[in-house]
Amino acid sequence: MLPRLLFACFILPAVLSADPKPAMRVLRDQCLGCHKPGKAKGGLLLTTREKMMKGGDTEVPVKPGKAADSLLYQSVLADAESHMPPKKNLSALEITALKTWIDSGAVWDATVFDEAPTPKPVKLSAMPASYQPVLVLALSPDEKRLAIARANAVIIVDLTKPERPVLGKLEGHTELVSSVAWSRDGKWLVSGGFQRLFIWDITTLKQARVLEGGLLGCITAVVVDASSAAIFAADGETGGAGFIRKFDLNTGKLLATWKAHEDNVLALRLSPKGDRLLSGSADKLAKLWDSANNKLVSTYEGHTNHVLSVAFNKDATQIATAGADREVKLWNTLSGEQEATLGDKKTPCSTLTWSPDGKTLVALTEKGGGSLYTDFVRHTGGERSEAAKTRKLTSIPETPTSVVITSDSKTVFAGAFDGKVYVWDGATGKTSGELKL
Ligand code: HEC
C-alpha cells in the first residue's frame, strides 16, 4: 500500500490542475451577457456560484463532479436541444474547459471577472491640425521645467528664465497626449496616449522606451513612484472598468494590473512620501492604494457624479477631490471621513492641485473660474465659509484641463482646451498672461 503522503501526491496534482479560470472565462465571455441581473434568460444567473446553483426555470444546471449529467455542459454540446449560446458554437477548447471544470467540482474563481479585457485593435483617424488642446501640465520636481502636453506632443518650458523659453518638444505620439509625469529624480518623463506610454530621457529629450500591448483606450493618468523605478498608469475602455498598471520604469516590464474602479480612472496621484496612490474615477469614488502591494487602503464615498481630480496635502493627512457633482470635498485620509466642502457648488471643478508645501489648494472650474484656498481649518463639520480662506483667480475664457502651482504658491499655471497655458500671480490672483509656446 502506498504511504498516505505519497498517495496524496498522486491525486493532488490532478485536482490542482483543474484551474477554474479557463472555464470561468468562457462563462464571462460567452454566457454572462444573457445570464446576468436584468437579463436572466431562462431564469438563470451565472454571476456567482450561489446564483448558478439556484438554477434557472428547469433545473440546477451544474452537478459538481458530473459534467455529463449537468445541463450547463449538455447545452453547449453541438447536438443540444436548447443550444447555448443560442446562435453560436463554442470551440472544442471552451467545451473541454467547461467539462473539466464541472468534473473537478465547479470551483468558483470570481477574480476572472476583474481581469482586464484584451484591447480591441483601433485605427485612429488623423487629428485635425487645428485641434491643439493642452490636456496636461506637469511641473518638474525641481520646479525648473514645465511639461505641457499639447495635442500629440509634449513641450518642455524653462521656468528659470523670465521669458520662460521652450527648451524642446517631445514628438512621437500620433494621438493626443492625455497624461504626463516626471520621475522624482528628474531624469525621465512619461507620457501616455492611446494604448501606449512613452518614456523620455529628459537630458537628451529622446524617446527611451515605448510601453504597449495590453493597454486599453486612453491612458488617462500616470505617476512615477518615489524611487523613480516604477510607473503607475490608468487605462480602460471608454465607459469600461478602470485599471491601474504598474510597470518597471527601466525595463518596461508589466509588474501588475488590477481593476481599481468600475468605471474609468480619471485622476491618479502619488502621496508625497510615495507610499500611497490615490485614484479618482467616473464611478463616483476615490480610492487610496498601498503603492508597495497595490492593496486597497481606503475608499472615499460621497460624490454623486464622476470624480474628476484628486490631490494630497503635504503630509497626506488630507485629500481633496473634485466631482462633476460641483462639489470639492476635503477628506481625512485615514478615517475616510469627509471633513469639509469648498467652492460655491455652481460649476464643476475640472482640476485641482495642492501646492507642495500644503499651504494652498488651487481649484479651477469648467467655466474658467478659479480659487486659491489657504489657512485650512480642520474639523469644521462641513461649514464651507469656515473651511479655508478663499482668494478668487481672474477667470479665463476656456475650460482648464490641468493646473499646477509652485511650492512658494507664487505662480499658478493652467492648461486649457484652447491650446494655451495661462499664468496667474498666486499672491494677487491676477492673470499675468500666457506662455509663448
Ligand atoms: C444570446 C443570449 C444567450 C447566451 C449568450 C447564452 N444563453 Fe443560455 N439561455 C438563453 C435563453 C434565451 C435561455 C432560455 C431557454 C431557451 O429559450 O433556450 C437560456 C437558458 C439556459 C439554460 C437553461 C436554464 C434553465 O434552467 O432552463 C442554461 C443551462 C444556459 N442557458 C446556459 C448557458 C451557457 C453555459 C451559456 C454560455 C456558454 C449561455 N447559456 C449563453 C440565452 C443565452
In sequence order, the 6+-apart residues with CB closer than 8 A to the CB of 133 are 150, 151, 176, 401, 416, 417, 418, 419
Whether the ω angle into residue 85 lies within 30 degrees of 0, i.e. cis, is: yes
Chain length of the chain = 437
Return the best residue to mutate from 28, 32, 41 for the ligand 1 pocket (most ligand atoms within 8 A of CB): 41
Span 143-166, pLDDT tens digits: 999 999 999 999 999 999 999 999
Span 250-264, pLDDT tens digits: 999 999 999 999 999
Mean pLDDT of the chain: 92
For the residues 394-409, what does the mean pLDDT come to? 96
Residues 141 and 198 in one domain: yes
Residues 370 and 414 in one domain: yes
The pLDDT value recorded for residue 379 is: 65
Residues 110 and 147 in one domain: no
Q: Can you give the residue range of the structural domain that contains 391?
A: 134-434
Q: H/E element holding 33?
A: none
Residues 57 and 140 in one domain: no
Residues 214 and 303 in one domain: yes
Question: In this structure, are residues 286 and 234 in contact, taking their beta carbons and an 8 Å threshold?
Answer: no
Residues 34 and 70 in one domain: yes
Residues 101 and 192 in one domain: no
**CATH code where residue 313 lies:** 2.130.10.10
Residues 298 and 396 in one domain: yes
CA 225 to centroid of ligand 1, rounded, Å: 47
Residues 92 and 191 in one domain: no
Binding pocket residue ranges, ligand 1, CB within 6 Å: 30-31, 33-35, 41-42, 44, 55-59, 61, 71-72, 75-76, 82, 84-86, 90
In this structure, is residue 91 part of a structural domain? yes
Exposure string of 87-105, with b = 16+ CB inside 10 Å and e = fewer, is: eeebeeebbebbbbbbbbe
Q: H/E element holding 13?
A: helix 4-16
* Lookup: cell for 159: 521656468
Span 79-107, pLDDT tens digits: 999 999 999 999 999 999 999 999 999 99
CA 138 to centroid of ligand 1, rounded, Å: 51
Residues 210 and 246 in one domain: yes
In this structure, is residue 255 part of a structural domain? yes
Return the best residue to mutate from 35, 49, 60 for the ligand 1 pocket (most ligand atoms within 8 A of CB): 35
Number of domains the chain is built from: 2
Question: In this structure, are residues 435 and 164 in contact, taking their beta carbons and an 8 Å threshold?
Answer: yes
pLDDT category at 381 given cuts 50, 70, 90 is: low
Residues 74 and 38 in one domain: yes
Residues 103 and 147 in one domain: no
Assess whether pLDDT exceeds 90 at residue 338. Answer: yes
